[in-house]
């Protein structure tokens, strides 16, 4: 005897499409075809850069943005950019969403319990994801996967301007500033701008002001701002905490592309120690609290 759900579908004239492998029911044959690929392993949409396959074309489109560095969805609050619109919506909850999961150690609030669990590891020191090739340990599996590229030499993302390859999309975004001239980190005190966040943070320590979010891409320095430090006729980016407005002298010429053009593994080493709170057994990482 047919189930009540199937009888209702027959009476309404709606068709149903059943998966012969797991019994899951779909209202459209196209949905069933996509689902069957999960069982067969078929991936008809293949990335021409890295060879990774996908069931749906749209997922391949999103994946390609990891290679190109394209992030078309920008947060209006902090100007952070994202590959997918859904990622932007999830991010916007950090600005407007209700944070009901509270850390009992420091009082920091989170949107999701999983975020709280990851944060708690900062207090407990728990780093359950260990690299099998070195002593580095991580709080998240995703950070371990990124770190592993240091050992394998894998660089799946490439610059569309010059072809230079990188291990992570974040490395590519930093490198792209060599071509675009973008300097999104702007000092609110003296209005100097910086292409790299770590240089900007060191600079803000000199003023005793906590660093803020990146400025919009169309940001322009105020006409009444202090002049930037110069070397001859060239304006250079400050590479240390000193500020020309306070020191009253010019900076020596900086190797302006050294940070951008260095090998991506060096970026990974910086991110590993500073951003990912890595534990190096027998080694000393920079002070993470600074």
Residues 156-176 pLDDT 10s: 888 888 989 888 888 888 888
Which pLDDT does position 9 carry in this prediction?
Answer: 46
User: For residue 245, is pLDDT > 90?
Assistant: no
Which pLDDT does position 120 carry in this prediction?
Answer: 92
Nearest Cα to Cα of residue 278 among 109, 94, 130: 130
Q: Write the Ramachandran bin of 105: left for phi over 0, alpha for psi from -120 to 50, otherwise beta.
A: alpha
Cα(237)–Cα(197) distance, rounded to whole angstroms? Answer: 12
Average pLDDT over residues 14-28: 86
Own/partner long-range contacts of 265-270 (Cβ < 8 Å, ≥24 apart): 265/149, 265/150, 265/167, 267/166, 267/167, 267/168, 267/170, 267/171, 267/174, 268/146, 268/147, 268/149, 268/150, 268/167, 268/168, 268/171, 269/150, 270/198
Which pLDDT does position 96 carry in this prediction?
Answer: 81
pLDDT digits (tens, 9 = 90+) for 191-231: 888 888 888 888 988 888 777 666 554 555 556 655 554 44
Which comes out higher in pLDDT, residue 242 or 176? Answer: 176
Token couple for 262: 């260095």
Per-residue burial over 89-115, b = 16 or more CB atoms within 10 Å of its CB, e = otherwise: eebbeeeeeeeeeeeeeeeeebeeeeb
Token couple for 101: 């999961």
Cα(19)–Cα(35) distance, rounded to whole angstroms? Answer: 8
- pTM for this model (two decimals): 0.41
Residues present in the chain in total: 290
Highest mean pLDDT range out of 106-110, 181-185, 260-264?
A: 106-110
Q: What share of the chain is helix, strand, coil (3-state, %, to 5)?
A: 40, 10, 50
CA distances from 199 to 185, 203, 256 (A): 9, 6, 12
CA distances from 27 to 14, 18, 20, 24, 101 (A): 8, 9, 15, 10, 38
Which pLDDT does position 213 carry in this prediction?
Answer: 64
Which comes out higher in pLDDT, residue 184 or 3? Answer: 184
Confidence category of residue 274, pLDDT binned at 50, 70, 90: very low
Which pLDDT does position 278 carry in this prediction?
Answer: 38
Tell me what the pLDDT averaged over the chain comes to: 73
Which pLDDT does position 102 carry in this prediction?
Answer: 92
Token couple for 224: 């009444």
CB-based burial label for 123 (10 Å; 0-12, 13-18, 19+): exposed
Backbone angles phi, psi at 54, to 5 degrees: -140, 155
Average pLDDT over residues 26-53: 88
The counts of H helices and E strands in the chain are 11, 17
Kindly list the structural domains of the chain, giving each domain's residue range(s) and its CATH number in brackets, ordered by start: 47-96 (3.30.160.60), 128-219+237-245+259-284 (3.30.160.60)
pLDDT digits (tens, 9 = 90+) for 95-121: 887 888 899 999 998 888 888 998 999
């Amino acid at each position: 005897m047919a189930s009540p759900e199937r009888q209702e579908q027959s009476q309404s004239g709606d068709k149903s499409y059943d998966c012969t492998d797991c019994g899951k029911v779909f209202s459209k044959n196209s949905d069933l075809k996509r689902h069957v690929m999960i069982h067969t392993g078929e991936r008809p949409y293949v990335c021409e850069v890295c060879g990774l396959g996908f069931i749906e074309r749209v997922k391949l489109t999103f994946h390609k943005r990891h290679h190109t560095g394209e992030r078309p969805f920008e947060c209006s609050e902090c100007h952070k950019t994202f590959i997918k619109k859904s990622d932007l919506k999830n991010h916007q909850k950090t600005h407007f969403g209700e944070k009901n999961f509270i850390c009992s150690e420091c009082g920091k609030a989170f949107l999701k319990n999983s975020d709280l669990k990851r944060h708690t590891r900062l207090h407990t020191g728990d780093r359950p994801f260990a690299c099998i090739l070195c002593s580095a340990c991580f709080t998240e599996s995703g950070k371990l996967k990124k770190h592993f590229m240091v050992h394998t030499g894998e660089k799946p993302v490439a610059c569309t301007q010059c072809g230079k390859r990188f291990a992570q999309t974040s490395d590519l975004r930093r490198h792209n500033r060599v071509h675009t001239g973008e300097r999104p980190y702007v000092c609110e005190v003296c209005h100097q701008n910086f292409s790299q966040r770590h240089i900007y943070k060191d600079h803000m320590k000199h003023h005793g002001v906590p660093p803020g979010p990146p400025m919009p891409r169309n940001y322009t320095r105020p006409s009444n701002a202090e002049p930037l430090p110069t070397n001859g006729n060239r304006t250079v980016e400050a590479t240390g905490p000193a500020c020309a407005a306070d020191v009253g002298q010019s900076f020596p010429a900086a190797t302006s592309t050294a940070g951008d053009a260095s090998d991506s593994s060096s970026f990974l080493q910086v991110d590993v120690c500073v951003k990912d709170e890595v534990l190096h057994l027998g080694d000393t990482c920079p002070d993470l609290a600074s």
